[in-house]
Chain A
Amino acid sequence: MRKAYIVGVGMTKVGKFYDKSIRELAAEAVFKALDEAGNEKPDAIVVGNMLSSLAEQENLASLIADYTGLRGISGFKVEGACGSGGAAFLAGCSFIASGIFKKVLVVGVEKLSERPTPATSRGLAWAADADYELVHGVSFAGLNALVMRYYMSKHGVSREEMAAWPVLMHENALQNPYAQLKKKISIEDVLKSPVIAEPVRLYDASPLSDGAAAVVLASEEVARKLSDTPIHVAGLGNALDSTDLTSRYELDRLLASKLSAEKAFQMAGVSSKDIDVAEIHDAYGVTAAISLEELGFAPRGKGAKLVYEGRFRAGDRPAVNPSGGLKARGHPVGATGIYQIVEVALQLRGDFPGINVGGEVGLTQNLGGVGANVTTTILRR
């Protein structure tokens, strides 16, 4: 298997951009990433996206390639719900690893501001089981609310302890120029924010976002020519769980996250103790708590409590979500996995424009559905 390197990264600010279309968002990120990598034409493009159908647009690989002057290259879209970005990155790396292509552009793009919130909510719930779950009217926030109540009840976690995560994420995002939510909040603000799906309140949830992020991947030989600071993709893992939340073995766990992390750690020859910086998939505070546990950063049932005690800030090891995470950087669903990879690559390069924690080894964890499709990536300086 050939080694894959990140030689260029780019991203747009995350937010609601009524004046920008899918192709325009993608082009902004693509041009930045290509410019960092000597602006050479890539051999292929892989697009991560979940819900472009909300804007009545599929066939994204050709749309974006053509719009950005790359007509004629190879490519396609990869879909794994909110985990589409991570899955697209894995597909792009496998192109390099197999030797089929030497330079691959991976772009994640999402536009959730196109339709009214109930329509977008319905679209996001397509990540669940349509025949057995959505048919009862449950939203994606509702599914996570069921997990949150169960987790808090089983492990004796208080409402205040659960609120520490969004407070930390908002604090981290203050310094990130790409973040959507730039507002300091308190635990009290979280507890007073409007209810979306009991016990999930507005500040427990990631926002609806537009955005695009891109990376240029290259083989070792090409990477040496194109970049002075290539980031090695040392480990990759993906694992699937049930699409429905209903038949999970354990409601307070994310089995696919554990399995995908084990695969990535094994490939990279590292363990959770070696990780300096991580960007994890905190679509909801409870998702962050359980993810910390499945990644080996916290004992089972202690994820939220450790955050409340002040762990995982810049200066701690690992520093988790110095970008502000999905919670405050924002969650342009199919692009999120690529944002995480761009952010961790910039951390390892020492170039992240927000809270810069540096480090040698970084991790990203990107979830699709309620942890139904999970990709974990290990990056090395």
Chain B
Amino acid sequence: MLTIQRVWRLQEKLIKLVGSECMNCGYVCYPPKAACPRCCSREVKKIQLPRVGKVLSYTVLKVPVEGFESKSPLIIALVELGKARILTQLTDVGADEIYIGMPVEATIRKSPQMIEGAAHYIIKFKPTIKK
């Protein structure tokens, strides 16, 4: 279950794009790790990932998991952000408009999942509008 204390603990992770970068070999990872998966070094630092990226793969969930029934179908994508990736919901886009390589940017939105009757916010990605 998603509890209030878990959302509080995760608040930075839910709305900020903080990854880890290895000071030894330079490997960038998201989700961040306490040590580098590639060279095992514990000399890793937190880094801010770019807020713009492109869709690497995507899916449209027709069978929701418990807690997400209110927002179905949910669009989930793996988004490439520089040297890392994030798994995220896509918003402000129709399922038939998405393509691999589509440019997207981060936005903070309400999560469809309620916690003990309260809403919480989470990072999502939306198509980048060319200005």
Interface, chain A (partner B; CB < 8 A): 117-119, 121-122, 125, 129, 131-139, 141-142, 145-147, 149-150, 153, 194-200, 242, 244-247, 251
Query: Is there an interface contact between B10 and A197, defined as CB atoms closer than 8 Å?
Result: no
Which A residues are in CB contact (< 8 Å) with B31? 129, 131-132, 244, 246-247
Query: Is there an interface contact between B62 and A197, defined as CB atoms closer than 8 Å?
Result: yes
Which B residues are in CB contact (< 8 Å) with A245? 78, 87
The contact sample of 22 A-B pairs, CB cut-off 8 A, is A118-B66, A121-B65, A122-B66, A131-B10, A132-B30, A133-B87, A135-B111, A136-B122, A137-B113, A141-B63, A142-B61, A145-B59, A146-B58, A149-B58, A153-B57, A196-B62, A196-B63, A197-B59, A246-B30, A246-B31, A246-B85, A247-B31
Q: Which of B58, B62, B68 contacts A137 (CB 8 A)?
A: B68
Interface residues in B83-118 by Cβ distance below 8 A to A read 84-89, 95, 100, 111-113
Tally inter-chain residue pairs, CB-CB below 8 A: 119
Separation in Å of the B47 CB from the closest CB of chain A? 14
How far is A216 from B96 in the complex, measured between Cα atoms in Å? 52
Which B residues are in CB contact (< 8 Å) with A199? 59
- Number of B positions contacting A (CB below 8 A): 40
Q: Which residue of A lies closest to B84 (CB)?
A: A247
Query: Is there an interface contact between B14 and A135, defined as CB atoms closer than 8 Å?
Result: yes
Q: Which of A133, A141, A149 contacts B100 (CB 8 A)?
A: A149
Known: A132-B13, A149-B100, A153-B100. A137 touches B74 (CB 8 A): yes
Determine if B35 is an interface residue (Cβ-Cβ < 8 Å).
no
Interface of B is mostly: mixed
Determine if B60 is an interface residue (Cβ-Cβ < 8 Å).
yes
Q: Which residue of A lies closest to B20 (CB)?
A: A247
How far is A200 from B84 in the complex, measured between Cα atoms in Å? 25
How far is A77 from B86 in the complex, measured between Cα atoms in Å? 33
Interface, chain B (partner A; CB < 8 A): 2, 10, 13-14, 29-31, 33, 37, 56-69, 71, 74, 76-78, 84-89, 95, 100, 111-113, 122
Q: Which of A125, A132, A137 contacts B89 (CB 8 A)?
A: A137
- 10 additional A-B pairs beyond A135-B122, A153-B100, beta carbons within 8 Å, are A121-B64, A122-B66, A132-B87, A138-B87, A142-B76, A145-B59, A194-B62, A245-B78, A245-B87, A247-B33
Query: Is there an interface contact between A122 and B65, defined as CB atoms closer than 8 Å?
Result: yes
Known: A149-B100, A153-B100, A198-B95. A134 touches B57 (CB 8 A): no
How far is A113 from B37 in the complex, measured between Cα atoms in Å? 37
Separation in Å of the B128 CB from the closest CB of chain A? 20
Separation in Å of the A243 CB from the closest CB of chain B? 9
Query: Is there an interface contact between A139 and B56, defined as CB atoms closer than 8 Å?
Result: no
Which B residues are in CB contact (< 8 Å) with A247? 29-31, 33, 37, 84-85
Which A residues are in CB contact (< 8 Å) with B33? 247
How far is A2 from B70 in the complex, measured between Cα atoms in Å? 56
Q: Which of A122, A131, A200, A246 contacts B13 (CB 8 A)?
A: A131
How far is A247 from B81 in the complex, measured between Cα atoms in Å? 12
Q: Which residue of B lies closest to A200 (CB)?
A: B59
Q: Which residue of A lies closest to B98 (CB)?
A: A198
Separation in Å of the B57 CB from the closest CB of chain A? 4
Query: Is there an interface contact between B95 and A139, defined as CB atoms closer than 8 Å?
Result: no
How far is A5 from B62 in the complex, measured between Cα atoms in Å? 45
